[in-house]
Amino acid sequence: MKPECWTDAAPLARGLAVCLGVSLLCATSAVAQSEYRAAVLRVDAPKPLPISRLDLPPADLGLAGAALATSDNMTTGSFMKQTYTMEAVVATPETAEAEMKRLAAEGIQFIVTIADEDMTVKLADAAGEGVLVINASATGDRLRGADCRPNLLHTAPSDAMLTDALAQFLAWKRWTRWFLIEGSHPEDKALAESYKRAAKKFGARIVEERVYEDRGSARRTDSGQVPGQQEMPAFTQRAAEHDVVVVADHSGYFADYLPYHTWEPRPVTGSAGLEPESWSPAHEAWAGMQFQSRFEKISNRPARPEDYQVWMALRSLGEAATRTRSEDFTTLRDYIASGKMELAAFKGQKLTFRDWDGQLRQPILLVAGPVVATVSPQAEFLHQVSQLDTLGIDRPETQCKR
C-alpha cells in the first residue's frame, strides 16, 4: 500500500521561479542594480494525511509566502536600486542534499528550508559555511541546542517557545494542574519534554502523564468518529484531578480527537484546542489584516504558519540589504544574525535573532479555532533584556556552541 503523502508541487515551484525571474528581470533592465539571490528549498517526505481534510497542505505551502516576501522586498528595493530573485525548489528526502549543494554551487548564499529536524541539520551541513540557511519549518529544540550550526538561523519558533507561550497563559489562568498526554513518536516525546520544562519554569504541576500509542490503524475512514466518541473518554478516565489537558502530538496522530471527548469536562490545549502558533488566518492586530489580504490576493487561500515563517526569512534578507546597503554576504549575514536587525512582522514589536542560538524572537499566538484567544508573552512575565526572552531557551540555559 502506497503511503498517503503530499502532492508533488515541483511543477508549481519551477513555474513560480520562472515567473518571478522574468518579472524581476523586466524591473531591472532599465538601470544597473544590486542583485540579491535567494532560494527556498522544501523537502516533501511521505507522511500520513491529517485527521481533517481542512488541514490538507496546499501545493504551494511556504512558496506562496516566499512570493509575497520577494514582492515586498522588490517594493522597497525599487527605490534603492536593489533587485531580488528567488528560486523555489521542491525536493524529496533522497534529492534534497544534492539540491542544496547545487544551489550553493550556483552562488545562492541565502537559502530558506522547509524540512523536518533531521533533514534540516543535513541541509545546513551540505550548504557549508558560505551559505546562510534559515529554517522556516522545524521546531525541535535540539536544532537550537546540541545540534545547532553556525550557518543556521530559525524563523520557525522552537518547541520551547511554543510550550512556554502556552504555559504562561495557563499560569495566568491559574490552571496549574496539568494532565499531559503525549504521542508515541520521538518528536511527540521531545515535545512532551518541552512541556515538562515549561511546567517547571512557570510553576505548573503535571499530575499525570499518559502515552497514546500509534497502532498504525487507519484514522480517516467511515468510522472515523470512533476514536473520539468511544475511545478517548475511555483513554482519559480515572486521571488524577486536573485543571487542563495538555497534549503533545507533534505527529498529528490523535490530538484532534480529544476536545469534547475527555472523560472529565476540561479544556484541551497544546496540539489541539488552544494551540500555540506563529501565525493564524484569524490574526488581525498590529496591521496583521494587511498581511492577510495581500497574501490571500496572490495565493487565493489563507496564510499558514509555514508561509509566514518563510516570509519572515526572506524579509530578513530584504531588511538587511536596506539597512546595510551592502551586497557583501558576510556583511549581510553578520547583520542579520547579530541581533541588530529589527524585523517588522505584524506582531506589535520589532523582531530580532538571538545571537546565542540563531532563533528569531517573536510573540506567539494562542489560537482557538477561528479566533486568537491571546498572545504571549503575557504581560506579567518580565525579563532583564527582552520580554520575548521569557519564551524559549535563554542565554544561560543554551547548549548551543556556535
User: pLDDT digit string (tens) for 81-137?
Assistant: 999 999 999 999 999 999 999 999 999 999 999 999 999 999 999 999 999 999 999
> Are 42 and 188 within one domain?
no
> Are 124 and 265 within one domain?
no
> Are 85 and 110 within one domain?
yes
Task: Please tell me the predicted confidence (pLDDT) of residue 229.
Answer: 87
Q: How confident is the model at residue 216 (pLDDT cuts 50, 70, 90)?
A: confident
317 neighbors 336 (Cβ within 8 angstroms): yes
In a domain? residue 9 = no
Task: Please tell me the predicted confidence (pLDDT) of residue 29.
Answer: 47
Query: Prior bond to 377 cis, omega within 30?
Result: yes
Q: Is the pLDDT of residue 353 over 50?
A: yes
Task: Please tell me the predicted confidence (pLDDT) of residue 86.
Answer: 98
Q: What is the largest CA-CA distance in the chain?
A: 73
Task: Please tell me the predicted confidence (pLDDT) of residue 249.
Answer: 98
Q: How far is the C-alpha of 299 from the C-alpha of 347, rounded, in Å?
A: 22
B/e letters for 136-166, b = 16+ CB within 10 Å, e = fewer, are bbbbbbbbbbebbbebbbbbbbbbbbbbbbb
Q: Is the pLDDT of residue 240 over 90?
A: yes
> Are 271 and 231 within one domain?
yes
Q: Is the pLDDT of residue 12 over 60?
A: no
Q: How confident is the model at residue 33 (pLDDT cuts 50, 70, 90)?
A: confident
- CATH number of the structural domain spanning residue 164: 3.40.50.2300
> Are 64 and 137 within one domain?
yes
In a domain? residue 18 = no
> Are 207 and 103 within one domain?
no
Q: Is the pLDDT of residue 334 over 90?
A: yes
Task: Please tell me the predicted confidence (pLDDT) of residue 14.
Answer: 46
In a domain? residue 50 = yes
> Are 175 and 305 within one domain?
no
Distances (CA, A) of 89 to 36, 102, 134, 365: 17, 11, 15, 29
> Are 73 and 187 within one domain?
no
> Are 144 and 248 within one domain?
no
Task: Please tell me the predicted confidence (pLDDT) of residue 327.
Answer: 96
How many domains does the chain fold into? 2
> Are 47 and 81 within one domain?
yes
Which residues form the domain of 234? 158-213+225-277+364-401
For 173-190, the pLDDT digits (tens) are 999 999 999 999 999 999
Q: Is the pLDDT of residue 220 over 90?
A: no
In a domain? residue 28 = no
> Are 57 and 138 within one domain?
yes
Task: Please tell me the predicted confidence (pLDDT) of residue 260.
Answer: 96
